[in-house]
Every structure is written in structure tokens, then in C-alpha cells.
Amino acid sequence: DAGVIQSPRHEVTEMGQEVTLRCKPISGHDYLFWYRQTMMRGLELLIYFNNNVPIDDSGMPEDRFSAKMPNASFSTLKIQPSEPRDSAVYFCASSLGDRVNIQYFGAGTRLSVL
Amino acid sequence: AQSVTQPDIHITVSEGASLELRCNYSYGATPYLFWYVQSPGQGLQLLLKYFSGDTLVQGIKGFEAEFKRSQSSFNLRKPSVHWSDAAEYFCAVATSASKIIFGSGTRLSIRP
């Protein structure tokens, strides 16, 4: 398996623009997680899905952030409008239901908002 | 509240020397504990996990960790480090079936 695939790897945008990050989980995994990593706050869970349904979005910082999972093989994290403080590395991870705690991470998307 | 503390922000060890990275957790029930490694520009990779049973767990790349309930610790060890072990290491605790809390990480540098 190719592992968790995230795109793009790097994104540079200007403040106020919409940003969409993409994730393809490992085939067969039924849990998908979005994390944000910053120097100040470390690795934070933003939201996670089970069988394409959002289960816990309590980590989503504000209404500018939204996440969807239209099918088992694709998820998006959208920021609209983006702000400089959103600059971070965003990771997607997936796991298999019977071992939900073993999460497999993608390589991340480094977002810079100017 | 559940938390994970990694007291060492940065550690430098000589190649071939032994390594111990510290991790303390706060969690009321029996914890599920993990160590992940992150190489520069990469995602996190699971090194090892503790769910139950033997408190000394073996992982990949020659790493091991010991769960000590009395000390609320889950320290990571390796008897002899290699230059390729230079990375950031994260300890984590699962607070429920799906949510994981990560520590702030320890950056490991290897001295030639």
C-alpha cells in the first residue's frame, strides 16, 4: 500500500484566500484524522471521521476551518479565509477500526499564509 | 485532565552511546501508550506501543520502552544509537478509543 497520501506537500497563499488540503487514507482504513503541528502548540487533533462521518470536531479552531469526507478514500480540510496564524504543517492520519489507536500518518502539508 | 510530558526538548548523544528519552503521562485509567518518530519533512511513524501485558515492549529500529505505572512513565531506550536515529520523538497517550494526545516532542541529535 502507498500509505496515507496528502497533497499538496507545500502551499503558499495570501491572507484571505481559500486553501484546500487533501488526503487519501490507506485503503480499508475506516478512521481518518486531521492534525495541525506548530512550534507553539505542538501536534493538535483537529477533527476525526469514522466511516466518513465526523465524530469529533472539537479541535477545529474556528468556523473558518471545515473538513469533509465524501467517500472512504478522500478527505479535505478547507480554510476560508486563511490567516497568517494558520501557517503550520497539517497532517492526515488513518487507522483500522479494530486497532483504532495505531494511526498511520501522511507526510503532511506545509502551509504558509503570507 | 489527560496530558503527556516530555521534559527534554533537545538531547544530543554520541553515535554508539545509549539513549533514554523520558515521558510522563497523566491519565486516570489504564493508558494506551505510544512512541512515534518524525524525521525531517516527514510524517510520524509508530515506533512501539503499550496496551497491556509485559511492561517492557520492543519496537522497530532497535527501540524499546518500559511502562512503569507507579511512576506514570513510559521511557524510550536504545542501547546504541546510529546517526540515522536523529529525529523528533513523540510520546503519546490514547484517551479514548480514537483520540490521542501527543507530548511536545524531544529532538534527538547525534554527535559523530
B56: CATH? 2.60.40.10
Identify the band that residue B2 occupies on the pLDDT scale cut at 50, 70 and 90: confident
B42–chain A nearest CA distance, Å: 5
What average pLDDT does chain A have? 93
- Spell out which residues of chain A touch residue B94, defining contact as CB-CB under 8 Å: 101
Amino acid, single-letter form, for residue A109: T
Closest in A42, A102, A108 to B43, CB measured: A108
pLDDT score for B30: 76
**Chain B interface disruption, residue of A103, A104, A110, most B CBs within 10 A:** A103
CB contact under 8 A, B49 and A101: yes
pLDDT score for A1: 65
Domain span holding position B107: 3-111
- Spell out which residues of chain A touch residue B104, defining contact as CB-CB under 8 Å: 42
Task: Say whether pLDDT at A49 is over 80.
Answer: yes
**Residue B28: count of CB within 10 angstroms of its CB:** 8
Task: Say whether pLDDT at A98 is over 80.
Answer: no
- B65-110 tens-digit pLDDT: 999 999 999 999 999 999 999 999 999 998 776 788 899 999 999 9
- C-alpha distances (whole Å) from B31 to each of A86, B3, B37, B72 are 32, 11, 20, 10
pLDDT score for B100: 87
Identify the band that residue B51 occupies on the pLDDT scale cut at 50, 70 and 90: confident
Closest residue, chain A, to B35 (C-alpha)? A102
Please give the full DSSP string across chain A, using - where no structure is assigned.
----EEE-SEEEE-TT--EEEEEEPPTT--EEEEEEEETTTEEEEEEEEETTEEEE-TT--STTEEEEEEETTEEEEEESS--GGG-EEEEEEEE-GGGTT--EE---EEEEE-
**Residue B90: count of CB within 10 angstroms of its CB:** 25
Task: Say whether pLDDT at A90 is over 70.
Answer: yes
**Chain A interface disruption, residue of B100, B102, B106, most A CBs within 10 A:** B100
User: Domain total for chain B?
Assistant: 1
User: Between the ranges A38-42, A58-62, A88-92, B96-100, where is the mean pLDDT highest?
Assistant: A88-92
User: Between the ranges A24-38, B26-40, B92-106, where is the mean pLDDT highest?
Assistant: A24-38
CA distance A15 to A114: 6
Average pLDDT (B32-36) is 94
